Amino acid sequence: MVAHQEIHGKVGCGCDNTSETKVFHWMVSYVAGSHFEVKRQYKPGILGVGGGQLSVDMAVIDTNSHEAVLFVEIDGGHHFKREFFSSTKRNSTPEHDLKKEKLGVPMLRVEQRTVEKWRMPLVEWLQTKIDLVTSGNFDSSVCCYSDGKHYETGLYATLRGV
């Protein structure tokens, strides 16, 4: 488990309508009344390629142990394409994603375009995964949800040997 460290910052563009904010508010209401809380822009204590602290979009924290029990990442286009940034700036996001996934905390990855559609199958998937984690019965380190094939092909899959 990873000890709780948090940074107070904005999610995505900081708008109330971002995909990350939508999932964050849903998760907060879903775990309300339990001994879990949801934090955003959670810093698990690892450094990125450039030496800066990495953060995950959201973390479910056990308020008894103060440890992260689940990470949630909402993946926009830069998670799947190295050319997302200009040719003068290298996109290290894929390598950063791998570092976060190797921390031993279960990780849910959801493609941003899928969140924008916000359909019932996604909500049910999130509920099931959160219930498994908070009951101590989660059996996978990384689970991905997408309406497309971004997690099955391309850079994401290549870095993981899929």
Q: Supply the pLDDT for residue 23.
A: 92
User: For 100-124, what is each residue's pLDDT tens digit?
Assistant: 888 888 889 888 888 888 888 888 9
pLDDT at position 148 over 60: yes
Q: Where are the domains of the chain?
A: 2-160
User: Structure pTM?
Assistant: 0.79
Mean pLDDT check: name the lowest of 22-31, 108-117, 124-133: 108-117
Q: Supply the pLDDT for residue 98.
A: 80
Closest CA to 96 of 132, 44, 141, 131: 44
Q: Are strands 56-62 and 67-75 parallel, antiparallel or unpaired?
A: antiparallel
The answer to whether 74 and 19 are in contact (CB under 8 A) is: yes
Task: Report helix angle 120-134 to 19-31, nearest 10.
Answer: 50
